Copies of this chain bind each other. A is one copy, B any other.
Amino acid sequence: MRQQWSVEANRLLASLPRKSYRELLPGLDAVTLDFGDVLYEPGARIRDVYFPSRSVVSLLTIVDGHSALEVGLVGCEGMVGIPLALGVDISPVRALVQGAGAAMQMSAGGFRKAFEASAPLQRSLHRYTHALMAQITQTAACNRFHVVEARLARWLLMTRDRVGSAQFRLTQEFLSHMLGVRRVGVTHAASALQRRDLIEYQRGNIRILDNPGLEAAACSCYRLVRQRA
């Protein structure tokens, strides 16, 4: 029963016709993803795909070996391992668990078979692939044009939407990797938001206090990717 719930909490799986998803079930394992887990490294083979239910996974590009930048955020609306749905088994990005929680896991081989056998699954995943491309595109422009404070606000809101809670754990150091800036920049932006009573935080615990206020502080990208998803 608990497993059943987990499956349905992922919107991709939940949207499948009953028959399709019953065929899928035997290959799915309920797992818990822990904060900091690295699901894929760039250039490495994809061994499993994941359908997050209450967990959140960041997709990061690694530049010049050191700098990281988040390009996508996957929660219960998506799947981690999209390249497999495109016939490629190498991940171009690092997949990092950013919010611990439940997910359904499936082996790459099992997924390939299930994917080929199920037209509804193909349709869902291809539509999601498109949404993810749009998200990556939007993020690219956002990172280019918007200031850190607005990007931070957007990122906190997107995370909240995916974890389903106004409070979550993450350090400024971690955030700096997501936003592709120095930690100092995050400190400045976060202090500013806290000073305006939009958020509060201490030692890795962040809580959103003023939702509409934070949305106003975020760049328009937040609304755009939200209404498109």
Contact = CB atoms under 8 A, between A and B. Distances in A.
A69 B127 contact: no
A40 to B, nearest CB: 13
A141 B88 contact: no
Contacts of A5: none
Contacts of A61: 137-138, 140-141
Contacts of A71: 137, 140-141
A86 interface: yes
Given A69-B144, A126-B87, A144-B180, A137 B134 contact: no
Interface in A135-182: 136-145, 180
Given A92-B133, A126-B86, A133-B136, A63 B180 contact: no
A67 interface: yes
Given A136-B136, A144-B180, A127 B92 contact: no
Contacts of A88: 127, 130
A220 interface: yes
28 contacts: A61-B138, A63-B142, A63-B145, A64-B145, A69-B140, A69-B144, A82-B133, A83-B130, A86-B130, A86-B133, A87-B123, A87-B127, A87-B130, A88-B127, A88-B130, A92-B137, A92-B138, A92-B228, A129-B133, A133-B136, A136-B136, A136-B140, A140-B140, A140-B143, A141-B180, A143-B144, A144-B180, A145-B180
Interface of A: 61, 63-64, 67, 69, 71, 82-83, 85-88, 92-93, 123, 126-127, 129-130, 132-134, 136-145, 180, 220-221, 228
